[in-house]
Structure 1
Amino acid sequence: MITETVAAQDVPLDRDLFLRQLVRELSGALEDVVGLEEASGYISLVGAAMGEQIGASYRRALKVERLGRDQLGAVLVDLKRRIEGDFYIIEETPERIVLGNRACPFAEKVLGRPSMCMMTSNVFGRIAADTAGYARVEIEAAIARGDPGCRVVIHLDPSTAPDAGGGREYFRVS
C-alpha cells in the first residue's frame, strides 16, 4: 500500500527539526519584511514571555520566591543544556556573568538569522533581571552571525554596565 511505502522513506523530518525550521522561516520572513532590528523586536516579545515562564519553572523547582544570585549562572547554563545548547560559564562576578556557547539549540537553522539571538537575550535578560533587579545582555559573538561560538555578557549592576556598546537592558517587573 502507498501509505506504508511513503512512511518507509528516509525523510529527515521530526518535530524538533520541523519547529526549528519553522522558527528559522518566521524570523527570516520578519527580517525580509520589516528588517533585522524590527524582527529582533518581535522575537524579543516571545523571548521575554519564554523567560518569564522558564524562570517561574526554575523558581518552583528550587522552591524559592526569587532565584539567588549564586543560582543564576547555573540556571542559565542548565536551561540551555535542556534544549541542547552547550553554554558554559567563562566568568562570574557580582557585576556580571560571561557565558560561552559551542552549540546553538537551533543548530544549523540559526545560521544567517541573527534575530533569533533575541531569544537568548530575552530569556537570559528576563531571568537575570528578575534575580538581580537589572540586566544588560550583550551578545558579543554569535553562531548566527558566523562566529564559531557565542559569547554572551550579562551585566547585573547598572553602575558597572558600560554606557556605550550594544546590548539590551532588562529590569525586574515585580
Structure 2
Amino acid sequence: MSGVESLDLGYERDGFMRALIRELAGTLEEIVGVEEAAGYISLVSQRTGDAVNERYLKALAVDKIDREQIADVLVDLKRRIQGDFYVIEESDEKIVLGNRACPFGEEVRGRDSMCMLTSNMFGVIAAQNLGYAKVELRQTIARGAASCRVAVYLRTTEEAARAPGREYYGDLSETEPVGR
C-alpha cells in the first residue's frame, strides 16, 4: 500500500454525494438558469416526496397523515437526513418551521435550486395527506442566511394567496375540501 488510503480528503459517501448534487445543481443553474434548474430538481424531489410519504403512511399504518402529525413528520424527515428543523408556529392554516442545519451542509450555499428538495418534500407530504399545501421559503441558508424559515400553508387563505411560493395539490377526491 502506498498510504493513499490514509489521506484525509474530506470525502466519504455522504460528503461525496452532497458535493455531487451541488455540482449538478450548479451546472443546471449555469446552463438553464436558476428557475429552470429548480424545475428539474422539483421533478426529482416530487417523486422522492411521493416515496417518502408512502414510507411514513406504511410505518404509521394509516391511509392519511392527519394535520396534527404533519409537522412531526416534516421535522422527523429532516432530522433523519441530518437537518435541524423545528416548529416555530403551528395552526390549522399553516406550519412555520425553522432550520439550523441544512442536510447538504455548506454545499448548499449559493445553490438556491437545491431548496426545491425541501419545498417539494414538505409540499408533497402535506398536499397528499391534506389536499393542499403552499410552501414559502422565507429565508434559506442557500441564499446566505444563518438559518432557514419555511412556511407551509395548509389552506388557501388570503395570507397564503399573498405569500410567494409553490402550490401543491393532493387527490382532492379523497380529502375534505380545502378552506378559503
CA contact (8 A) 2:134 2:160 kept: no
Residues 27-51 of structure 1: CA deviation (Å, up to 9, x unaligned) = 0000000000000000001111111
CA RMSD, Structure 1 to Structure 2 (Å): 1.1
CA contact (8 A) 1:31 1:39 kept: yes
1:9 to 7, 11, 14: 7
CA distance in 2 between partners of 1:42 and 1:145 (Å): 19
1:139 to 128, 137, 140: 137
Show the counterpart of 2:67. Answer: 69
CA contact (8 A) 1:136 1:161 kept: no
Matching of residues 1-174 of structure 1 within 5 Å:
1-2=1-2, 5-173=3-171
Equivalent residue letter for 1:7:
E
User: Which stretches of structure 1, 4 residues or longer, exceed 2 Å deviation after superposition?
Assistant: 159-165
Identity %: 53
Unaligned 5+ runs, structure 1: none
Q: CA deviation at 1:158?
A: 1.1
Q: TM-score, normalised by structure 1?
A: 0.96
Q: CA deviation at 1:161?
A: 4.3
CA contact (8 A) 1:100 1:151 kept: yes
Unaligned 5+ runs, structure 2: 175-180
Q: CA deviation at 1:163?
A: 2.3
CA distance in 2 between partners of 1:161 and 1:22 (Å): 37
CA contact (8 A) 1:95 1:160 kept: no
- Size of the aligned set, in residue pairs, is 172
CA contact (8 A) 2:132 2:170 kept: yes
Q: CA deviation at 1:159?
A: 3.2
CA distance in 2 between partners of 1:91 and 1:8 (Å): 47
CA distance in 2 between partners of 1:55 and 1:22 (Å): 25
Q: TM-score, normalised by structure 2?
A: 0.92
Residues 75-121 of structure 1: CA deviation (Å, up to 9, x unaligned) = 00000000000000001100000000000000000000010000000
